[in-house]
Amino acid sequence: MQEQTASSRQIVTRAGFASEAAGVLARVRAQSPRVHCITNSVAQNFTANVLLAFGAVPSMTLSPAEIGAFVKRSNALLVNLGTFGTERREATSIAVDAAIQSGLPWVLDPVFVDRAPPRASYARDLLFLHPAAMRLNADEFAALAGTAATAEAVAAFAREHRVAIGLSGAKDFIRDGARAVTLENGDPLMAKVTAMGCAASAMVAACLAVEVDALIATASALLIAGVAGEIAAASAQGPGSFAVNILDALHTLDADALKARARIVL
Amino acid sequence: MQEQTASSRQIVTRAGFASEAAGVLARVRAQSPRVHCITNSVAQNFTANVLLAFGAVPSMTLSPAEIGAFVKRSNALLVNLGTFGTERREATSIAVDAAIQSGLPWVLDPVFVDRAPPRASYARDLLFLHPAAMRLNADEFAALAGTAATAEAVAAFAREHRVAIGLSGAKDFIRDGARAVTLENGDPLMAKVTAMGCAASAMVAACLAVEVDALIATASALLIAGVAGEIAAASAQGPGSFAVNILDALHTLDADALKARARIVL
Amino acid sequence: MQEQTASSRQIVTRAGFASEAAGVLARVRAQSPRVHCITNSVAQNFTANVLLAFGAVPSMTLSPAEIGAFVKRSNALLVNLGTFGTERREATSIAVDAAIQSGLPWVLDPVFVDRAPPRASYARDLLFLHPAAMRLNADEFAALAGTAATAEAVAAFAREHRVAIGLSGAKDFIRDGARAVTLENGDPLMAKVTAMGCAASAMVAACLAVEVDALIATASALLIAGVAGEIAAASAQGPGSFAVNILDALHTLDADALKARARIVL
């Protein structure tokens, strides 16, 4: 069971978790993990810039002829289902195989599975290949799990699929089979910039490259994204300047600001 | 004939039209229409962010396997011809069929038809499927219609194809078979940001979702874009900050500013 | 031999070269060269905006059915290997043929050839079709040439392939078979914005459209990019505002600022 693995640590206090997240941030910057991203063309540029601002190194090729080589030279993989077609699925299959063979963690972002049934069925297939984490919103969870995203349903789903789940919304809920963290950071402007969720999923992948505990990695990524979003919103005039500011905030965020601003509910 | 439909209203005064446009803006924000966009990968991110800042909800998949489902769950469709290939044309065919079956309005943006002859011929085929509106520039019109974009030629083309035409340029000319509006808002920096025209076409689609009179919807979208462009230019240092500012301006624009800044010629 | 062509001028003084670069900048703005770009979807939007801010006119279609027509109506071509697949290679083949037939200069950007072996082999094939210039970093050079990017190795490679080479890094080294320019402008934030290198390659293509001496065109593009980067960094809060500022700086840069800030080593 997931909660019994050696990598799974207890989360006892809010300050303790904030320190864990600060450690993850420091390791991303120190190690500059390579994150290969399978993501849609709407999200590619912003996702790459978020990863660079965070301290990671993105690559984005989708060509079946070379994606395996890229993944093997990476430290984590993001699989986002946006804009999926035949070639995209072939590339995904090769990339996940390469990640499994190389022992790399990977993240599933089942974006818009609530809008197109074939996407939900494909996402369910991918879950059997054991992503370390999955980030999605409540509507996407409901389409995937066939039940509303209650705390119990999410925990049950996490336990069944042995996956850390990051449920984004006005608050972020992060759960695995045994533990739960709720984050109250963020800003409504985050929903007014396209690909913000996709970029957060890429940050989860970057954190998994430096933190073996998938729940801590997922919660750290979403905490850092939420705090950067708050900092960005403070001086934004709207969604345009907000998108610029959040890249600046990710680049300059330090451990003290992260700890001071973190609003964590255990 | 277009000018005889119940949805076609008279445009009597500049203040009256500005009020119509303010009403369209308010309804976009209140109803958050879903706009599915077939557009090129250069334009996707900026188009999505313009729609979000405007108050609409974009989706962008091009996969033939799922585009029909996405369009049926949308309130309007944009078909932009940029970067067109075999798969794109198959997706377009499915999407337009789905729009017609669901009674959704759709917009044609025949971008760069003046640069590649096969694109112009494809655009002419699409016109027979009755888009509610078409947005383009004078060179594109000339390539498509085989004649220069004079007021008479545009009106004749609009009447023949029963389409509202938004002709972008230093001034914007909006015409259907019976009516004409000229807009003098905007700023030269709009031509220095890629995909600004594509994004304006997506705004036309969003307005068509909340306004059945295609001429009023098209003119409202271009008026709002032009006024937002002027506001953006006022504090821009160049095209980079302009592109950021126009997203902020679309997000914060209110009815009073729209009416005060509108420069309409009837 | 490259160094014996009529178009190849001596570079005698730093001030002389800075004046050449200022002349190239002025001609790009006056002539608005059309640059067709084969580039990956991550880079397309930023590359297009960089070209527009610089004064050039981008087009980006990759469709084999129309790319030949686009290239023939252009003044230069960029071939960037990012995200390459079957259709991309077919489009590249048609585009390079069209450029050769029309006598247009073209630029090769062998991005990430150090990450995927098939890409390196494809890049070597393309070199036999005689790009006027190639822009890359030291790792990419090593993967392509099979030897570290020393001054001698780069000069030998340039002579063998009759290509001007722009080697980007903390300093930029520009060499052809006979001449060398080193540039010390730029800022570390340039490495924190995705597609900055791809966009610089597109600027090289724009300069080749107005300057027949490939070494001067390549060095001018990289000098202008580096100086704009310094100006952008001066008021940036991080990589988000930096990316905005560099577009503004490219748009507003004048000959005096270019000459005053140029740090050239001959």
Q: Which residues pair with C246 in a beta bridge?
A: none
A75 touches chain C (CB under 8 A): no
ipTM of the complex: 0.94
For residue B194, give the nearest of C49, C87, C245 by CB distance: C49
Q: Residue A83: is it exposed, middle or buried by C-beta count within 10 angstroms (0-12/13-18/19+)?
A: buried
Give the DSSP letter of residue B5.
S
Instruction: Round the average pLDDT of chain B to a whole number and report it.
Output: 93
Q: Which string of DSSP letters, residue by residue, matches A121-137? A: HHHHHHHTT--SEEEEE
- Cβ–Cβ contact C83 with A under 8 A: yes
Does the pLDDT of residue C237 top 90, yes or no? yes
Percent of chain B with pLDDT over 90: 83
Q: Tokens 């800075």: give the residue.
A: C18
Cα–Cα distance for residue pair A216/A243, rounded to 1 Å: 26
Least confident of A7-11, B229-233, C26-30, C120-124: A7-11
In which residue are the tokens 């100006």 written?
Answer: C231
Give φ, ψ of B54 to 5 degrees: -75, -30
* Phi-psi label, residue C193: left if phi above 0, alpha if psi -120 to 50, beta otherwise: beta
Chains that touch C (3 or more CB pairs under 8 A): A, B
Only one residue has tokens 């219609």, namely B145
* H or E segment to which residue C16 belongs: helix C14-31
- Contact with chain B for residue C73, Cβ under 8 A: yes
* Single-letter amino acid, residue C110: P
Q: Which chain A residues contact residue B44 at CB under 8 A?
A: 41-42
Q: Of B34, B60, B194, B253, which to mutate for an interface test with A (greatest number of A Cβ within 10 Å)?
A: B60
- The domain defined by C12-265 folds into UDP-N-acetylmuramoyl-L-alanine:D-glutamate ligase (3.40.1190)
Contacting B residues, span 42-61, partner chain C, CB-CB under 8 Å: 42-43, 45-46
Return the closest-CA partner of residue C39 out of A137, B87, B40, B185: B40
How buried is A53 (Cβ within 10 angstroms: 0-12 exposed, 13-18 middle, 19+ buried)? buried
DSSP states of A242-255:
HHHHHHHHHHH--H
Local structure of A164: helix, strand or coil:
strand
Query: Residues of A with CB below 8 A from C240's CB?
Result: 49, 53, 243-248, 251
Phi, psi values for residue B42, rounded to 5°: -65, -40
Question: Quick one: CA torsion of A169, A170, A174, A177, rounded to 10 degrees?
Answer: -70
How many degrees, rounded to 5, is the angle at CA C7 between CA C4 and CA C8?
55
Tokens at B203, concatenated? 């705004």
Q: DSSP characters for A46-62?
A: HHHHHHHHHT-EEE---
C107 to each of B81, C70, C75, C120, C202, how far by Cα in Å? 27, 16, 12, 16, 8
CATH superfamily of A17-265: Ribokinase (3.40.1190.20)
Residues 131-190 of B with CB under 8 A from C: none
Q: Closest Cα of chain C to A28: distance in Å?
A: 14
A residues 207..266 contacting C (CB < 8 A): 243-252
Touching subunits of A (3+ CB pairs, under 8 Å) are B, C
Residue A22 neighbours by CB under 8 Å, 6+ apart: A255, A258, A259
DSSP secondary structure code for residue A226 in this structure? H
In this predicted structure, the answer to whether residue C2 has a pLDDT above a threshold of 50 is no
Contact A252 C240 (CB under 8 A): no
The HSE-up count of residue C216 (CA atoms within 13 Å, CB side) is: 24
pLDDT tens over chain A, length 266 residues: 344 455 678 877 888 999 999 999 999 999 999 999 999 999 999 999 999 999 999 999 988 888 999 999 999 999 998 767 777 889 999 999 999 999 999 999 999 888 888 888 899 999 999 999 999 999 999 999 999 999 999 999 999 999 999 999 989 999 999 999 999 999 999 999 999 999 999 999 999 999 999 999 999 999 999 999 999 999 999 999 999 999 999 999 999 999 999 999 88
Confidence (pLDDT) at C65: 86
Distance from C-alpha of A120 to C-alpha of A114, rounded to nearest angstrom:
7
pLDDT value of residue C1: 34
Residues in chain C: 266
Q: Residue C136's beta-bridge partner residues?
A: C167
pLDDT digit string, tens, across residues B144-192: 999 999 999 999 999 999 999 999 998 999 999 999 999 999 999 999 9
**Cβ atoms of B162 and B130 closer than 8 Å:** yes
Which pLDDT score, from 0 to 100, does residue C49 have? 98
| pLDDT for res A7 | 65
Interstrand relation of B34-38 and B76-80 (parallel, antiparallel or unpaired): parallel
Q: Per the CB < 8 Å rule, is B69 touching A239?
A: no
- The domain B13-265 having CATH identifier 3.40.1190.20: the answer here is yes
What is the C-alpha to C-alpha distance for residues B224 and B218, in angstroms, rounded to an integer?
10
Over 50: is that where the pLDDT of B51 sits? yes
Structure confidence by residue, pLDDT tens digits, B205-240: 999 999 999 999 999 999 999 999 999 999 999 999
Q: Is the pLDDT of residue B3 over 50?
A: no
Beta sheet of C133-137, edge-to-edge order: C57-59, C34-38, C76-80, C106-109, C133-137, C164-168, C172-175, C180-183, C264-265
Cα separations in angstroms, A103 against A75, A76, A131, A170, A208: 9, 9, 11, 34, 12
Alpha-helix residue ranges (DSSP H) falling in chain B? 14-31, 44-54, 67-72, 86-102, 117-127, 138-145, 151-161, 196-208, 214-234, 239-252, 255-261
SS3 A171: coil
Beta-sheet strand order (sheet of B180-183) = B57-59, B34-38, B76-80, B106-109, B133-137, B164-168, B172-175, B180-183, B264-265
Residue C91: list chain A partners with CB under 8 A.
Answer: none
Task: Supply the pLDDT for residue A82.
Answer: 77
Q: What was the pLDDT predicted at C166? A: 98
Spell out which residues of chain C touch residue A44, defining contact as CB-CB under 8 Å.
41-42
Q: What pLDDT was estimated at residue C83?
A: 67
